[in-house]
Amino acid sequence: MPQSLDVTVERVVVDTTCLRGRASVDVMINGHRTWSIDLVSSEGYADGCWTWPAPLRPYLDGVAQIELRDSATGELLASADVALGTSSDPIEVLDSGNRHLAINKWGRLGKSFEGSENTLRTRVLDRLDELVAFCEARDLSPFVVGGTLLGAVREGKILGHDDDADLAYLSHHTHPSDLALESFAIERELVAMGIEVVRHSAAHLQLTWRHEDGTVDAYVDLFTAFFKPEGIINQPFHVRGPMDESSMLPFSAVTLEGRTYPAPAVPEDWLTLNYDHNWRTPLPGYVLRTPGSTKRRFMSWFGWFNFLRDYWEGRYGDGPTPADHDVRAADRLHCVIPPGAPVLDIGCGSGANAVHLADLGHPTVAVDYSPAALQRATALARERGVEVDWRRLNLAEHRNTAELSLLIRETAEPRHVLVSHLLERTGSHLRRTVLRLLQTYVRSGSQVVVALDTQIGPDFDRTEAVTWHLEVGALKKELADLGLTVSGIRPLRETPRDRARGTVMFEVVPMTSRQPANPHLPKETAR
């Protein structure tokens, strides 16, 4: 007999007697799995009192049947009919394409195979087949890993809670520099084939395929794997540990949805290293925890280019906010540069500033690392009937920063720069990279305009980058190391948000004993 659940907008509570002997349970909302709880590997969940994950909470407004089911058998353990919040509509956890979402292994909402149409499995495997053939044609020794290998070995099919396909290639190289160069060469070939590639590190690529409307259809990850001479197998970002070469080579074969794929010689050894000794037990709520020593090693060797990428993808994927239409920074830049001068918008987001500058007659290049942001930006430019040179670049990757530095040489006159609410929303390491780029532009004679939130607001949340701030004094210290400073600081006071966040605009200029007023700047703001 199923038990009753105690459900509020904060938590789910169940009598622990129904959890005995269970490895994993699924929380269902109106018939759809939205959250899985690992009772074996995770601490603190066996008490039967679970706080809703933060990404789910905004959806908990309406009526729903909440069920708790065994992840392995589907057995109904407990249920409750609830009304949460103020809405009388059924609770649905959907993306913009009406696909059901669930908490994934990263603790974020994402789509999964079980929440998508059945043909997605076929399309993903078709892409995986193409990538295997690509690697084999280049003697790259591909083999399936991660959830793809786990699904093949444990069930012979794609795991319902998975969301992509995972492929690695066993490199002959052992030095990080050689491995990185090999990965860069692979990336260039894939891009030349018209495939959208996101680089997560110098040893990890994500290949993306989209529908005609620009929404994501499928992902396939391509990882670099390699042995070190001391008998350590490495597959950034997560797998590192001792392994006999006989556990890897010669490759075996596994079957996935009726298709055959190369796999480690002893798949069980790889899966134990990738997950743990519980890998045979279905644990949809399993959380991948990479040891700190492994993280440090791989970040030192191959970097990590993902700072806040998923946050911005989610934010722009959910739709624009009122702040995305604020073009005052673009107007400021327009005031301080000659008519028709070329401009660069760094961290353009959904493109409002870039489109506005283009509409004002400035040849505009705009860059961001979020595909979702650039999708919105491109649509906005099309709607306004203006041309903008949109570029997906990640400033955490120095090759991309170098590309932006070379823009200076593309025009006879200086290309001026807008940096709107970027500097306060990056970590200190990435901000220094951006400031060095600004130094290059300032030295070439460019005007650089910055918009910045300088005060912590009442809505501060460390997980929400839009609530972060950076004091002007702290920024001036960082600029001083590069021979730069700020000029013409103008506090913004037009909106309640401006006043709460201490929003300001200013120029970045060379450090001199006296800063002259900009001849293009209105006198009342040239201070």
Per residue in 156-194, pLDDT tens? Answer: 999 988 889 999 999 999 999 999 999 999 999 999 999
Cα torsion 274, 275, 276, 281: sign:
negative
> Which is nearest to 147 in space by CA: 233, 74, 254, 44?
254
**Helix-then-strand count for the chain, H and E:** 13, 26
Final residue before a domain boundary, out of 302, 327, 351: 302
Residue of 74 and 512 predicted with greater confidence: 74
447 with 500, same domain: the answer is: yes
Cα torsion 381, 387, 392, 394: sign:
negative
Q: Residues 231-240: what's their mean pLDDT?
A: 97
* Omega before 250 within 30 of 0, i.e. cis: yes
What is the reported pLDDT for 296? 97
CA distance 204 to 221: 7
25 with 124, same domain: the answer is: no
Domain containing residue 84: CATH number? 2.60.40
What is the reported pLDDT for 510? 97
Q: Residues 37-46: what's their mean pLDDT?
A: 76
171 with 23, same domain: the answer is: no
pTM: 0.86
441 with 513, same domain: the answer is: yes
Q: How many C-alpha atoms does 406 have within 13 Å on its Cβ side?
A: 6
290 with 323, same domain: the answer is: no
Digit-coded pLDDT (tens) for 472-493: 999 999 999 999 999 999 999 9
Final residue before a domain boundary, out of 281, 302, 323: 302
DSSP β-ladder status, 109-111 and 62-70: unpaired
Whether residue 109 is contained in a domain is answered as no
The first and second tokens of residue 43, run together, are: 């601490």
26 with 163, same domain: the answer is: no
214 with 329, same domain: the answer is: no
The neighbouring-strand residues paired with 505 are: 451, 490
286 with 358, same domain: the answer is: no
Whether residue 101 is contained in a domain is answered as no
Final residue before a domain boundary, out of 287, 302, 317: 302
What is the reported pLDDT for 1? 73
> Which is nearest to 507 in space by CA: 463, 461, 472, 460?
472
What is the reported pLDDT for 325? 82
141 with 63, same domain: the answer is: no
CA distances from 79 to 12, 191, 226 (A): 11, 49, 48
Whether residue 206 is contained in a domain is answered as yes
Whether residue 390 is contained in a domain is answered as yes
Segments forming the whole domain that contains residue 221 = 119-302
Domain containing residue 322: CATH number? 3.40.50.150
Tell me how many domains the chain contains.
3
Contact 363, 435 (CB under 8 A): no
Whether residue 102 is contained in a domain is answered as no
Q: Residues 497-501: what's their mean pLDDT?
A: 96
Whether residue 60 is contained in a domain is answered as yes
335 with 419, same domain: the answer is: yes
Whether residue 274 is contained in a domain is answered as yes
Q: Residues 513-525: what's their mean pLDDT?
A: 49
168 with 227, same domain: the answer is: yes
Q: Residues 150-154: what's their mean pLDDT?
A: 97
Contact 357, 333 (CB under 8 A): yes
Placement of tokens 């495939």 in the chain:
195
Whether residue 337 is contained in a domain is answered as yes
Q: Residues 427-441: what's their mean pLDDT?
A: 96
What is the reported pLDDT for 108? 82
170 with 217, same domain: the answer is: yes
Domain containing residue 179: CATH number? 3.30.460.40
What is the reported pLDDT for 203? 98
